Amino acid sequence: MLFNSLEFALFLPVVFAAYWLAARRGTRASNWVVLVSSYFFYGWWDWRFLGLLAASSAVDYWASLGIATSEGRRRKLLLGLSLGFNLGMLGFFKYYNFFAESLVGAFSFLGAPLSFERMDIILPVGISFYTFQTMSYTIDVYKRQMEPTRDALAFFAYVSFFPQLVAGPIERASRLLPQFLVPRSFDLVAARDGVVLILWGMFKKLVVADNLALYVDEVFARPELFDGLDVAYAAVFFGLQIYCDFSGYSDMAIGLAALLGFRLMVNFMQPYLSLGIAEFWRRWHISLSTWFRDYLYIPLGGSRLGQARTNLNLLVVFLVSGLWHGANWTFLVWGALHGGYLVAERAWRARVPAGAGGWPRAVLAWAMTFAAVSLAWVFFRAESLAQAFEVLARLGHFSFDHWAIASARFSPFDFKAALVYLPLLVGVEWASKDHLVSDWLAAKARWARWAFYLGVYLLVITLGNFGAEKFIYFDF
């Protein structure tokens, strides 16, 4: 069930009404509504995978209770049970074919071919998100950073919470779980801000992301037919597409949670305004980047063990991050590029004082960051390394009749419409820097807010691509 689908438009009002009616009877009643509606929402894709969601929740709920009352070896065994189950489940469904095929390829290269029959495994939607969410809970209990809850209903509702279940943000239990343990009352201001975020998220997804996809998909499907400018536009447009697709989902998730009285963490903060790769990762997919920082980078030693070890830790983290995104060598290259970018940036910043050069240096830093990120997106978008290198090879080809050819090639893509929604996106991103768009708008005059709401709504219904495109991160 997609947020931008008719089914969800029917689902949400029913859940909203049932939830606030149940809230009058207490926290447990409202948590039951969350749990039942979340399982219904998830089962809409494939009911068979409800067992995986329930099993992940059950294992981590009971393991954490045991960890909290145990010492020594038993605590470690229970933590190992939790991590082993979640990583094993994730590894089988997401990586079995990739690792098996890579192993067969390696043995074939060494002259010892192996036989392998590929398994037709369906990737459960959201498995990378909810397994990381439950693992962080168990690890935090093990590290004695939080006490486990004995309220199984609240915990199961927290893990399955439908606004952020299938594509994040990856919420920490220490932040979100306590919200399931206390009474909640309807807040009109929070609900209004939530509706604004849902509207803005719809604009990002339907108007920007799904329309840019028409251009991007055509270039990547047949790169040999296009010249360097086409490819450059496609790389930039894909960067905007994936940002608006994923941050649009996050905005809608935050808004939907607000309608039910919950506060989710901010997952994006205008990352394309960054002046460096490190800043980009402080602003992009914040819930994942902080997860890897706290549960992988710091345990590996972080930056405490010298420059060489720090660089190695960064590379390891970003290779794992690439693999988290998908079982394909393209994602590993994407992760390696970002790890290499960070290593190079740290070396550069150690030599050049911060703030030197004024605004010309800031503009150059922004341009270099944007170009580096856009280059890496080619590998993220490509279906294979061969396709990625083919796309990049076209950058050196240029046709003098480019504009005439481009307008004919991209018949489904409306260049004139892009001249409306892209400036609006960039302008709002710039004006609302370091704020959610709902918070930015809250400080404006009423007439300005309503003009914005009406304008964005009209763009959604007139320019929105309602082709039921799924969210990109549903594949991860």
Write down the domain spans for the chain: 6-184, 190-268+382-475
What residue ranges of the chain have pLDDT lower than 50? 404
| Contacts by residues 277-283 (CB-CB < 8 Å, ≥ 24 positions apart) | 277/338, 277/341, 277/342, 277/345, 277/369, 277/372, 277/373, 278/342, 278/345, 278/346, 279/369, 280/369, 280/373, 281/338, 281/342
- Assigned token pair, 76: 């470690």
- Assigned token pair, 64: 């954490």
C-alpha dihedral (380, 384, 386, 390), degrees to nearest 10:
-50
Task: Note the pLDDT tens digit of each residue in 371-430.
Answer: 999 999 999 999 999 999 999 998 877 765 555 455 556 667 888 899 999 999 999 999
pTM: 0.92
Task: Note the pLDDT tens digit of each residue in 244-303.
Answer: 999 999 999 999 999 999 999 999 999 999 999 999 999 999 999 999 999 999 999 998
Query: What's the mean per-residue pLDDT of the chain?
Result: 89
- Residue-level pLDDT at 256: 97
Taking CA atoms, 352 is separated from 96, 345, 357, 361, in Å, by 45, 10, 10, 11
List Cβ neighbours of 386 (8 Å cut-off, separation of 6 or more).
none
* Alpha-carbon span 376 to 235, nearest angstrom: 9
Q: What is the DSSP letter of 267?
A: -
- Residue-level pLDDT at 396: 79
| Contacts by residues 105-112 (CB-CB < 8 Å, ≥ 24 positions apart) | none
- Residue-level pLDDT at 91: 86
Active site residue 285: no
> Among residues 325, 338, 397, 435, which one is catalytic?
325
